[in-house]
Amino acid sequence: MASNKTYDQISVGDSAQITRTCSTNDLLIFAHASGNRNPLNLPDTDWTGDGQVDKPVAPSMWVGALISAVLGNILPGPGTRYLTQSLEFHRGVAVGDELIVRVEVTGKGANRVLEIDTTVTLEDGTAVASGKAEVTAPETTIEFEASDLPALLIERHRHFNRLITLAKKLAPMPTAVVAPDDESSLAGALLAADEGLIEPILIGSSARIKTAANSIGRSLEAFALIDLEDESEAAAKAISMVHDGSVRAVMKGHMHTDDLLRHIVKRDGGLRTKRRISHVFVMDIPGRGTPVLITDAAINIAPDLETKVDITQNAIDAARSLGLSEPKVGILSAIETVNPAIPSSLDAAVLSKMAERGQIKGGIVDGPLAMDNAIDVQAARTKGINSLVAGHAEVLVVPNLEAGNMLAKELTFIAHAEAAGLVIGAKVPVMLTSRADDGRARLASCAIALLYDHWKRTGLPVEVFDPSGE
């Protein structure tokens, strides 16, 4: 229980202070609360106009508002009423700066008015802001319980922004786009071309593709277009272009996944390798420190243990290509203990041991883990799980397609995640986006495919991921 200080309890010279580290979320919340959307004060913007993302500067009034936290919470505390506040700002504040906010009573007047010096400094004493305030101090004691406010969800997708920025550092990848004959699939391919991620070769019905282009107001003069009315023929043509070296990736347009996969998995002339192909969802979930990869939610319906080995290895490779140097892989089941009656828990235990023995490489694998203790540290601690993965999983290997599909869609529609998709294990990356995906999802899928292609060819990511970076 805490208490305020009444006017009679306060003396000249009394002081109080707090420390506060400026975060990206502070800037976003202040922009929403104030309506001030100055790009200078927002993350992931190019406010200088030089084509590069610039570091934001905290709004000066956000800095000034911190003073009210000291006055309203500590000195005088609850019941305080602001009368006046003067402020002079001496320098900007960046994300990560730790601020010391201090108030000191310099005078007492009639009607319970207090005169207060207010200062905000950096840790080293550098002045950020200074001024004077007048407040009416409370007349009676107010005892209160200092409880946390309800959490806020900041719907911010910084991981995809980062991946797209990284992919732009690479040369665009020649890509066969199969049947991009509706507005969404064509717009996504052209957007990726505009951003310098792919060099699309459009394969499909010329009439339908041109109609879609007219609908979105785009010219196709700058792009190669191969006219094939039949979608199956278009898919076969894309596969043949991989074999002759014309393209390094395949992108699904407005067609059924099975129609494209049929050509990819053919034993003769397909894109099969020694490893089983699988699908990886890369999820950008607001509030998570890293991207989260979910596999397999689109191709392997009820994978056996041998297939899960390839699924797990494919996902580790995808995660490493995104800059996660040693991805933490949680093998999911309904429980976190091995139960012979639950086959997925047995598979999880075997996969963990196989990784320990070097049969699965490049990641830290643990299981079985239930969803809660795979991603939540407190849940893992409550159940006494001591693991490098528990609570920190960056890759989630699901028991079957149904579980993966439901998990990915729950995160998308309930947790406001953005999702991109990629098929791993074929000769080239395959962008297997949904027909309902918007241009942003297709753009992210292209970025992930380009980063994966670079990793496959060089063995190195474009940049190692720094989870502490903003």
Q: With bands split at pLDDT 50, 70 and 90, how would you rate the model's confidence at 442? A: confident
- For residue 469, pLDDT beyond 90: no
**How many CB atoms lie under 10 A from the CB of residue 398?**
26
Span 333-355, average pLDDT: 96
Interatomic CA distance for residues 357 and 284, integer angstroms: 31
Question: Per the domain annotation, does 465 fall within a domain?
Answer: no
Whether residue 190 is found in the same domain as residue 322: yes
- By DSSP bridging, strand 98-108 and strand 113-122 are antiparallel
- For residue 468, pLDDT beyond 60: no
Whether residue 65 is found in the same domain as residue 193: no
Interatomic CA distance for residues 60 and 64, integer angstroms: 6
Whether residue 109 is found in the same domain as residue 6: yes
Whether residue 212 is found in the same domain as residue 297: yes
- For residue 210, pLDDT beyond 70: yes
Q: With bands split at pLDDT 50, 70 and 90, how would you rate the model's confidence at 330? A: very high
Domain of 181, CATH number, reads 3.40.718.10
Question: Per the domain annotation, does 123 fall within a domain?
Answer: yes
Whether residue 42 is found in the same domain as residue 92: yes
Question: Per the domain annotation, does 163 fall within a domain?
Answer: yes
Q: With bands split at pLDDT 50, 70 and 90, how would you rate the model's confidence at 44? A: confident
Model pLDDT for residues 245-299, shown as the tens digit of each residue: 999 999 999 998 889 999 999 888 899 999 999 999 999 998 888 999 999 999 9
Whether residue 107 is found in the same domain as residue 40: yes
Least confident piece of the model among 5-14, 362-371, 393-402, 413-422 = 413-422
Question: Per the domain annotation, does 34 fall within a domain?
Answer: yes
Whether residue 206 is found in the same domain as residue 126: no
Number of domains in the chain: 2
Question: Per the domain annotation, does 320 fall within a domain?
Answer: yes
Whether residue 170 is found in the same domain as residue 74: no
Domain's final residue, options 96, 113, 144 = 144
297-331: b or e for each residue (b if 16 or more CB lie within 10 Å)?
bbbbeebeeebbbbbbbbbbbbbbbbbbeebbbbb
Interatomic CA distance for residues 310 and 300, integer angstroms: 11
Domain's final residue, options 144, 175, 194 = 144
Domain of 98, CATH number, reads 3.10.129.10
The encoded tokens of residue 315 equal 């996902």
Which residues form the domain of 196?
158-327+394-458
Q: Residue 193: CB partners within 8 Å, gap ≥ 6?
A: 172, 199, 200, 223
Whether residue 283 is found in the same domain as residue 427: yes
Interatomic CA distance for residues 345 and 384, integer angstroms: 18
Whether residue 247 is found in the same domain as residue 299: yes
Question: Per the domain annotation, does 41 fall within a domain?
Answer: yes
Whether residue 197 is found in the same domain as residue 273: yes
Span 12-41, average pLDDT: 94
Model pLDDT for residues 212-245, shown as the tens digit of each residue: 999 999 999 999 999 999 999 999 999 999 999 9
- For residue 155, pLDDT beyond 70: no
**How many CB atoms lie under 10 A from the CB of residue 52?**
8
Model pLDDT for residues 62-79, shown as the tens digit of each residue: 999 999 999 999 999 999
Domain's final residue, options 99, 120, 144 = 144
Whether residue 279 is found in the same domain as residue 421: yes
Alpha helix positions (H), 357-438: 371-375, 377-382, 401-413
